[in-house]
Structure 1
Amino acid sequence: MARQCVGCENNYLDFIAKYHRDNDASLLFLRNHSVLPVEVQCPHCKTQCHYSKDRHQWICSAWKSVPKAKRSKQCNFTVSDYKGTFLSGTRFEPYQIVLFVNHWLSKHWDHQTVIEWLHISERTCVEWHGFCSEITEHCLDNQEPIGGPGIIVEIDETHFGNPNYERGRLLSQIWLFGGIERESKKLFLVPLVEPLSRNCNAETLIPLIKKYILPGSIIVSDGWTAYQTISEHGYEHQIRNHAEYFVDPENPDIHTQNIERLWRDVKKWSKEVGNRQEFYKQHLARHLFLHKYKTEIVHHQFFIEAAKLYPPLSDKERQISIVIPANNNLEDPNDPSDPQPGPSGGNA
């Protein structure tokens, strides 16, 4: 389970109650998850900038001497708090960002609900849906391998979405390859660009097996010819014969019931309204993210992933140094007892 912040456990309604119209709390949440910087160093003076609540910027006001002129000059360096981050360029209030993501991570996403509730335009809603999807698609493209010595991993491939009498949403030729650990239920799913054929496709699937399943794993699969060389790549391979039985009568541990159950869940999800073929990878990435991270940690993990994809490293031309918090249990930067000026709500 992913490490998370103290007090970060919030369900959908708790999140609304905690952050609705509270920019200070929302900004603190974003800083605690490394989405926004907690310190910015001036690239010219090498001193710490202070945060301007009114201007929503980091400002360096240090004085430095000008030797030839025999006088001092004040540095005028400034940079937006949102520069280079997941929030870059937005005119959303911080609480709107947090609550938009909260609804996007719910199992019942609805554009109209967000538009009416957060008072945003349809275009803005669609754009931010795309930004959120980018985070989960990045996670889909960078899944960690599963399995390991002695760990049983069930693998299988499937395709779904055939049209019903050539009416409705055309979802034909959507192919997936996946695997799931029998005990922990850790999994990976890979959308395939090209459809598989029964005459192939070891050249397609074996590299994916080696990428997503650790050596030493016990791989259970059906008897497809594409899987015949698995044991040559550092795995123990057990084969279940689909044509004869669902569970091997001589060894009940040889079955693929978990991966078959996963396919049923994915196919059920694929029939939901709005899951069009051209966006199926986007929908798959969101579905997998919600499946992987349960309610208690899903907000935490989403913003951590957003910070990884868009670290607050600012303007490369000026080579600004922004410090990301070493842990996720920061003191409130708005606390007047803090010697550093504290951040507050506002737009970029």
Structure 2
Amino acid sequence: MDFKEISLLEPLELINFLMSIGLLYRTCICTKCKIECKLRKRQTPEKYSWRCTKCSTFYSVKSGSFFEQFKLSIINVLEIVDYWAKDRKQADMHESLKISRPSIFKICHLLRQLCFLDLDKENFKVGGKNSIVEIDESVFNKVKYNKGKDMIHMTKNKQIWVFGIRERISKKVFFQAVNNRKENTLIPIIQKHILPDSIIYSDMWKSYDSIAYLPQNYKHFSVNHSKEFVDKRTGCNTNSIESVWLKCKSKIRQMQGVNRLYLQENLDEVMWRHNECGIVHKCQYKYSRRLVFNKILNLMQINNMKRLEERMEEVENEHKLHNRIKNIEKLFENDFKDLVSRSTQTEASSFDYKVKRKKENLEFE
């Protein structure tokens, strides 16, 4: 069922449908009386609430669900999910739906975290005996004339590289943002995600020189892009992975740039759409937007909410650590003006302002 069909349902039909697919709880137990509540009409955006028949306490039908985190109605949240499934820009959602940008950003952010959980990147493997895997790296933060929104946000001199893997048979892709493209950075990623005995195609970047000598028994072929795009002797080329970069960068360009903190989760979204929702259409590999909508609804089920909550705690801690490192670097550079604002109310910012006041005696917690 797509969003157009869902939007035509009556309020009670909508609630029953969401219960049937696991997005809402089928029952509610009163916390005071410990008895089962009943669905009753009420003047709320959902038109119905759970009501205890003994103490008359009301409980929201959204309790414990993905929808509980927002003041928006269920149908409004589903409409944003539908726009996200169609890969629409957040600015378009704001203009069309008249919903605040922070609410839209939070919903899209949570959907990307669900994509991350579904990908299971730690166990991602491609390749195998006689299977061709293409690898490549691409820079993601070029700015013209030293102006504009820099993706790395805090250090404009550094480049943000993304390492990519694509298997030709399954067409699955993998992306990882890296600080550099040195051998000791890229080789461990290759060993972790590409199975032994695979055939690896790459360009002639020096970090790949040791691939053929790794214990995984890889067969490595390279193409010199300064001379040709396809090696005439071996047929080696990286055209497939190069075409995937276009999809990734168009996603970033569509967002008019993205903060470095959110680059990897946007790459994870592209990976999820490509790997989990891809279909072959007219000899081209695309993803079905209806399939994206239905798959993300499955991921929004109640039994995934605990994992999502744990993931959000991890992300928050990563951001705090990122801000702390950023501020300490600025302190050592005697550059106070670019410190993370204390108004963010994070532990990192309050810590760094204490350090600023005691700059001569830096004490790390």
TM bracket, shorter-chain basis: 0.5 to 0.7
Distance of aligned partners of 1:43 and 1:93 in 2 relative to their CA distance in 1, 3 Å threshold: closer
1:178 aligns with: 164
TM-aligned CA deviation for residue 100 of structure 1: 1.3
1:286 aligns with: 269
What amino acid is aligned across from residue 101 of structure 1 in structure 2? V
- Structure 2, unaligned stretches of length 5 or more? 43-47, 278-286, 310-365
Tell me how far apart the structure 2 counterparts of residues 206 and 41 of structure 1 sit (CA, whole Å).
53
TM-aligned CA deviation for residue 148 of structure 1: 3.2
2:192 aligns with: 211
2:312 aligns with: none
Are the aligned partners of 1:105 and 1:290 in contact in 2 as well (CA < 8 Å)?
no
Higher helix share: 2
Q: Secondary structure at the match of 1:310?
A: helix
Tell me how far apart the structure 2 counterparts of residues 174 and 35 of structure 1 sit (CA, whole Å).
38
Of all paired residues, the percent bearing the same amino acid is 26
* Segment drifting more, 294-303 vs 33-42: 33-42
Deviations 1:200-231 (A, max 9, x none): 323x2232223322334322223434334434
Distance of aligned partners of 1:28 and 1:142 in 2 relative to their CA distance in 1, 3 Å threshold: farther
1:296 pairs, out of 287, 290, 297, with 290
Deviations 1:247-279 (A, max 9, x none): 222222x22111111123323433335223334
Tell me how far apart the structure 2 counterparts of residues 207 and 82 of structure 1 sit (CA, whole Å).
44
2:305 aligns with: 310
- Structure 1, unaligned stretches of length 5 or more? 1-7, 62-73, 315-348
Q: Secondary structure at the match of 1:211?
A: helix
Are the aligned partners of 2:134 and 2:238 in contact in 1 as well (CA < 8 Å)?
yes
Are the aligned partners of 2:136 and 2:163 in contact in 1 as well (CA < 8 Å)?
yes
Distance of aligned partners of 1:149 and 1:60 in 2 relative to their CA distance in 1, 3 Å threshold: farther
Tell me how far apart the structure 2 counterparts of residues 87 and 33 of structure 1 sit (CA, whole Å).
14
Are the aligned partners of 2:198 and 2:218 in contact in 1 as well (CA < 8 Å)?
yes
Would you say 1:250 and 2:233 are equivalent positions? Answer: yes
What amino acid is aligned across from residue 175 of structure 1 in structure 2? W
Tell me how far apart the structure 1 counterparts of residues 37 and 51 of structure 2 sit (CA, whole Å).
5
Q: Give the count of matched residue pairs.
A: 282
1:130 aligns with: 109
1:107 aligns with: 87
Structure 1 residues 141-290: aligned runs within 5 Å: 142=121, 144-171=124-151, 173-192=159-178, 194-196=179-181, 200-202=182-184, 204-231=185-212, 232-242=214-224, 243-252=226-235, 254-278=236-260, 279-290=262-273
Tell me how far apart the structure 2 counterparts of residues 302 and 313 of structure 1 sit (CA, whole Å).
13
Q: Secondary structure at the match of 1:271?
A: helix
2:39 aligns with: 52
Are the aligned partners of 2:30 and 2:37 in contact in 1 as well (CA < 8 Å)?
no
Q: Secondary structure at the match of 1:147?
A: coil
Distance of aligned partners of 1:31 and 1:235 in 2 relative to their CA distance in 1, 3 Å threshold: farther
Tell me how far apart the structure 1 counterparts of residues 257 and 9 of structure 2 sit (CA, whole Å).
32
Tell me how far apart the structure 2 counterparts of residues 168 and 36 of structure 1 sit (CA, whole Å).
43
RMSD in angstroms over aligned alpha carbons?
3.7
Are the aligned partners of 1:201 and 1:226 in contact in 2 as well (CA < 8 Å)?
yes
What amino acid is aligned across from residue 201 of structure 2 in structure 1? V
Tell me how far apart the structure 1 counterparts of residues 50 and 78 of structure 2 sit (CA, whole Å).
22
Deviations 1:94-114 (A, max 9, x none): 221211100122233243x53
